[in-house]
Chains A and B, each alone.
Chain A
Amino acid sequence: MNRDLESRDAVNRARVSPGGSLLAIVIAAATLVLIVLGTIWPAPSAAAMAGAGADLLRASSTPEAAVNNLAHEIAQNAWQRAYSNLANKNEFSEPDFVHDLTGGYSSLRTYASLDTFEVRPLHASANEAQVQLRLRWSTVVGTFADTRELRVVNSGGRWQVVWPLVKEPRVPPQVIAVNYLRWDVIYRGAEDDWGAQDVEAPHVRIVDMHPVERAEGVVLLGELLNEDVVPAYVTVKATLLGKNGVAIATEDSFDKISHVLLPKQVTPFLIAFHKVELSQVDSVKMEPSSTLIAASADPVIEIEDQKLNPPPGATFTGKLVNQSGQVVNVAHVLGTFYDSSGQLVWVADQYIDRALLPQIPESFAIPLPADLARKVSSQRAVTTTYTSGQFQ
């Protein structure tokens, strides 16, 4: 019996072998061809990302070429070259141009690098064209897009971009009186008597939790309340348990939560379990944890003009207004969405790529899945802020 099987395997191997070799040769040849093609004619954005120099830039003989060249220069941080090729450089200085793209104050933009860009011609005539440039910047917390509608003008056969400068507002010099409030903590020391207990961890409570099945897997949505009188650093971990009580997967909320909760503050959280179906899940073990931390009650951020924009392209938009006197370097907005019965439907977030200056509104737009957006009837937004040298 075994000999029969072995001999059949040998025959099968002999049969498969010529086809397999052929396939391997074809794959290897195709790979080589693609490498050669990619080296000789690289994709513009890929070339820019690879740090290819000016030799890859084409002459600005068309509006698209002019915008492409500008995008390359931005990708390479070749600010001087980019600025010198602009048609309207007499309207602003090179630092203004750089600040427009990288932010005048330290922010996510300051540390972002251009990931990809797209150039889309909108309209063209003999002397003028409209081109859309979509810049996709890469940061430590994900990517953000910056889309500019560019006017491109023909001056003596050479096309040049008229850069639509967005001048970052400057706050006039002033004194803003703020009663700062912060908590400092004296923790148990190594030399304390063993009976000397450490400061009590803040009491937090999950006030809402709801599992949702999505195409990518199971998503746990919920809200966590700091019911204590001290600030807490919070995280939420969840374990999905199968029908037999065996753990299927364990995940935590990562950055889909506001980690610092002041007294009586509520944060939404979202925990995603990829490649898990809700039908597999029998129960969920939730593990909220909290640590007492030193924190500040400021800055206070107002969220104005909150609106739910219906599908297609459903978004939750609004403006953040920094009511304090300090510059906020990075702001994170978390939106909690409810249906008409008040049940949690979705949690989404967005990082703001520009610094929040005192009293200067900064817009945000959080995209919503189209199917869920139709169910949403109310929402709640919270912000977390990061200030250079301070975590809040």
Chain B
Amino acid sequence: MTFTVKVLGRLLVTAMLLTAIPLAIAQTGTLRLPRTVEAGSAFSIPTSGSGKAVLYIVGPAQVLRREVKLGESISFAAGDLHNAGRYVVVLVGESSSENGAFDVVASHPASLSFLAKPSRLPVGLQNGISGVVYVFDTYRNLVIAPTEVSFELAGVAGAGQTRTVATRDGVAWTKLNSATKEGAAQFIARDGSVSATRVIQQVPGDPCRLRMNARLSNQKLQGQKLSGSKPGDQKQEKRLTLETDPVRDCGGNAVPDGTIVTFKEIYKDGEATVDVPVKRGVARTEMPAYPGATISVATGVVMGNEIRWGK
């Protein structure tokens, strides 16, 4: 609310000043304005003549008012004008007014807004990673002047990828390939001494050549009395230990721990299934050892091998 009132007030002042002066803004003899001023830097405006006057500087989101003595320089400290844009200057004297304009331009790059997408993608994807950089100065003005931005994808096996792109209207962008090896890559955008980093997770693809093996477990499950079961229902059954080979994608990358592998056993009187997360690269579980049972393994929509347990 307060902000709106301020903005409206400034607009009103601007409108009043613009109506009070000739529409064609021009440099006059009394006011000697700089053509451009770097945002946030100190500067001065020399004046000529004598007497008192009031100087107005009106710009984007900022208005300054100074009582001045004509013939002296008007100094502005560092940080007085920090929003980039075009500023209108009006010097209102006792009998006349003069006006002019100058530009406040962005200072040197001080921060980068770096949009890197996606944050997670499969390995080996051409132009799968996009990076867009907006270059700003200390006062968050977009640096319009062309500047070189380097993009670097590092932190994975093999040589990193680097691209250097010149900004256009304050923006630079590029596209990079994801690496062939899985892992978290540092995606760094750099402009001089300023840099911003994003983490790109390069993850394995679907599991490939899923294989398991089965062996009789050393431990036999001591059957427990079931709810509602009768005495004598207790059983001691042989168990099979089922374990996959290290689960990898087609590029040889180990699939991350936690990937679900489903073991399915079909036997004479029914079937059993269990969803097991991969831990330390393999999925391991125990299932009942029924003679003649067929055991299969799958993950997602990928099927693995099948084992027929001997009679």
Q: Which residues of A contact B (CB under 8 A)?
A: 166-169, 179, 181, 183, 193-200, 207, 225, 227-231, 262-266, 297-298, 300-307, 318-319, 323, 354, 359-363, 380-383
Contacts and interface: CB of A to CB of B under 8 A. Distances in A.
Interface of B: 111-120, 134, 196, 198, 203-204, 206-207, 221, 224-228, 255-261, 269-277, 279-280, 285-288, 299-301
A195 B134 contact: yes
A195 B277 CA distance: 35
Given A229-B258, A263-B255, A304-B270, 15 more contacts: A169-B225, A193-B196, A195-B112, A197-B119, A197-B198, A199-B119, A229-B203, A230-B120, A264-B206, A264-B299, A300-B274, A303-B274, A304-B272, A306-B273, A319-B226
Which among B113, B277, B288 has the greatest number of chain A C-beta atoms within 10 A?
B277
B33 to A, nearest CB: 35
Contacts of B273: 302-303, 306, 380-381
Nearest to B223: A361
A227 B298 CA distance: 13
Given A225-B301, A227-B300, A229-B203, A181 B279 contact: yes
A263 B287 CA distance: 22
Contacts of A302: 272-274, 285-287
22 contacts: A168-B227, A181-B258, A193-B113, A195-B114, A200-B118, A229-B255, A262-B258, A263-B258, A264-B207, A264-B299, A265-B260, A266-B301, A297-B258, A300-B277, A305-B270, A306-B272, A319-B226, A323-B274, A359-B224, A360-B226, A363-B227, A382-B275
A265 B288 CA distance: 23
A196 B111 CA distance: 13
Nearest to A357: B224
Nearest to A264: B300
Nearest 8 CB-CB pairings of A with B: A195-B113, A297-B277, A264-B300, A302-B274, A265-B260, A307-B270, A263-B259, A304-B272
Given A166-B228, A168-B227, A200-B120, A195 B196 contact: yes
Given A168-B227, A363-B226, A264 B116 contact: no
Contacts of A300: 274-277, 285
A181 B119 contact: no
Contacts of A360: 224, 226
Contact of B279 (A179, A231, A318): A179
Contact of A318 (B198, B206, B270): B270
A305 B258 contact: no
Nearest to A382: B275
Contacts of A303: 272-274
Contact of A306 (B258, B271, B276): B271
Contacts of A383: 275
Nearest to A179: B279
Contacts of A193: 111, 113, 196
A229 B227 contact: no
Contact of A196 (B198, B224, B275): B198
A207 B257 contact: no
A76 B299 CA distance: 49
Contact of A181 (B206, B257, B285): B257
Contacts of B134: 195
A197 to B, nearest CB: 6
